[in-house]
């Protein structure tokens, strides 16, 4: 078996995940992870799967494209490259950063630049912009992993300073606290 990442894009409709997962099952493959979202009317799905080692990736991609093509979907399949990290095990702390405020161009770029400058990894990001000045209509949510060597105080200070400059309400919570407070 070999590990691949499959991306599926197109207009959202019922049955996309069922079709992709059935294809993988019928082709002796196994889904290890899946993440999908619908943005406005568009579907975006990412699947990590193990597939038979003897089957070439272009063949998998073509067969899957033939399967989902009639649904108006596009597919890309590539091998998952092994991560080459140093042997020092570091455990990052997970936080959730939210910003609310008036819509303006470049909000995502300006906030993510600060996060990147502090060598913090964004593991999940959602941004919903309805426009206008209503702070509750424009929200960004970043789930981040902060490595132990990062200066959390400096990161949080820089985010709050940029938030004030952009008229954003910035909230930073440890992921465990965020999840506890926002349980449905």
Task: Write out the chain in H/E/C secondary structure.
Answer: CEEEEEEEEEECCCCHHHHHHHHHHHCCCEEEEEEEEEECCEEEEEEEEEECCCCCHHHHHHHHHHHHHHHCEEEEEEECCCCCCCCCCCCCEEEEEEEECCCCCCHHHHHHHHHHHCCCEEEEEEEEECCCCCHHHEEEEEEEEECCCCCHHHHHHHHHHHHHHCCCEEEEEEHHHHHHHCCC
pLDDT along the chain (184 residues), means of 10: 96 95 96 91 95 96 97 96 61 91 87 95 87 76 94 95 93 80 64
Confidence (pLDDT) at 164: 95
Domains and CATH numbers, the chain: 2-79 (3.30.70.260), 93-181 (3.30.70.260)
| pLDDT score recorded for residue 88 | 45
Which pLDDT value is given to residue 158?
97
pTM metric for this prediction:
0.72
């Amino acid at each position: 078996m070999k590990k691949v990442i499959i991306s599926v894009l197109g207009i959202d409709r019922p049955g996309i995940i069922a079709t992709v997962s059935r294809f993988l099952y019928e082709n002796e493959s196994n889904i290890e992870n899946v993440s999908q979202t619908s943005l406005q009317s568009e579907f975006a799905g990412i699947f990590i799967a193990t597939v038979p080692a003897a089957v070439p990736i272009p063949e998998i991609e073509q067969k899957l494209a033939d399967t989902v093509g009639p649904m108006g979907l596009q597919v890309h399949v590539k091998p998952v490259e092994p991560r080459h990290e140093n042997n020092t095990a570091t455990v990052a702390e997970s936080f959730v950063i939210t910003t609310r405020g008036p819509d303006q161009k470049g909000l995502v770029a300006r906030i993510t630049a600060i996060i990147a400058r502090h060598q913090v990894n964004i593991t999940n990001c959602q941004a919903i912009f309805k426009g206008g000045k209503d702070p509750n209509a424009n929200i960004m949510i970043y789930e981040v992993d902060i490595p132990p060597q990062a200066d959390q105080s400096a990161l949080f200070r820089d985010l709050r300073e940029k938030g004030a400059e952009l008229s954003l309400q910035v909230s930073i919570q440890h992921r465990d606290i965020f999840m506890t407070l926002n349980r449905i």
